[in-house]
Amino acid sequence: MNCIVCVTSVPDTASVIKIGADGNQIDEGGIKWILSPHDEYALEEALKITEAQGGEVTVVTYGPARAEAVLRDCLARGAHQAVHVIGGEETLGDSFKIAQTLAAILKDREYGLILVGVQSVGTDNSQVGQMLAELLDLPHVAGITSLEVGEGTLNASREVEGGKEIYESPLPALLTCQKGLNEPRYAALKGIMAAKRKPVEKIEPSDIGIDEGAGAAYRLRSLSLPPEKGEGTLLQGEDDPAGAAGNLVKLLREEAKAI
């Protein structure tokens, strides 16, 4: 079975984020870009399926030139082909435009299953997978934690409050994947060296009929870091617990506006 995995490049979660001079982008200086952690589960599941049933894994990303490193990482882990739609600077966070772009590149390709991370740790919208499924007119299940793929059908489950939901779906289908589905593999040195020589198919958005600047559903106007936490107030209550309690109530009411 041929599987397509849609992946994205995000800042390493250990990175120190700074706002760029324009005020609506992050300062990319010193940022290490990695495969979004939830996409690792999608890639691993696709690799497991093709190893068991045959077929190929194609990884697809929509992003700037630096996103090629993520595709190379996927190839090093075992993916067979990689497709890079180059762009995305004007569509940061616009889930619908991203889904439209991915749909345009995937609509004429052959696949049995599309796997996507449940969300990107860059914007955390958790929307692209479901939108992509609708644009491709595919059945889909979001946030799966287990999967069995049979002949023409699949069974997938996801955790819900107080239990588990189990779905049966015909193929082809689209699934978004989250932690608990599997244990992603690391790239071995042999795979890393081989990935350097593998071709990456590069496509401009205009080649697939996408105008990045038209019909935006979302515009990022500005970014700001959370306000720095001020110094805390230490109340000494060993000698006068009742007085300390009274001071606490006063601070919560008058300064924190919490009561």
1-30 mean pLDDT: 86
What is the per-residue pLDDT across 30-82, written as a single tens digit (0 to 9) for each?
Answer: 888 899 999 999 999 999 999 999 999 999 999 999 999 999 999 999 999 99
204/30 Cα distance (integer angstroms): 27
Q: Which residues pair with 57 in a beta bridge?
A: 3
* Both structure tokens of 76: 């090093």
Work out whether the CA dihedral 129, 134, 138, 142 comes out positive or negative: positive
- Specify the pLDDT at position 257: 82
Spell out the domain ranges in the chain: 3-208, 232-259
pLDDT over 80 (residue 2): yes
Q: Give the residue from 112, 117, 118 showing the smallest Cα distance to 153.
A: 112
Max CA-CA distance within the chain?
76
**50 touches 57 (CB < 8 A):** yes
Burial class of residue 169, CB neighbours in 10 A (0-12, 13-18, 19+): middle
Considering the domain 3-208, what is its CATH architecture? 3-Layer(aba) Sandwich (3.40)
120/221 Cα distance (integer angstroms): 20
- Specify the pLDDT at position 194: 94
- Specify the pLDDT at position 18: 84
* Both structure tokens of 25: 């982008």
Helices 68-77 and 37-53 cross at an angle (nearest 10°) of 40
Q: Beta strands 3-7 and 9-11: pairing type? A: unpaired
Burial class of residue 173, CB neighbours in 10 A (0-12, 13-18, 19+): buried
144-149 mean pLDDT: 95
Percent of the chain with pLDDT over 90: 61
Phi (first) and psi of residue 34, to 5 degrees: -135, 170
In this structure, of 146-150, 245-249, 252-256, the range with the lowest mean pLDDT score is 252-256
Average pLDDT, the chain: 90
Q: Considering the entire predicted model, what is its pTM?
A: 0.84
Residue 152 exposure: Cα atoms within 13 Å on the Cβ side: 0
- Specify the pLDDT at position 92: 72
- Specify the pLDDT at position 121: 80
What is the per-residue pLDDT across 208-227, written as a single tens digit (0 to 9) for each?
Answer: 998 887 777 777 778 888 88
* Both structure tokens of 3: 């599987």
pLDDT over 90 (residue 14): no
Q: Is the peptide bond before 172 cis (omega within 30 degrees of 0)?
A: yes
What is the per-residue pLDDT across 86-131, written as a single tens digit (0 to 9) for each?
Answer: 988 777 778 898 999 999 999 999 999 999 999 888 777 889 999 9
What is the per-residue pLDDT across 147-193, written as a single tens digit (0 to 9) for each?
Answer: 999 999 999 999 988 899 999 999 999 999 999 999 999 999 999 99
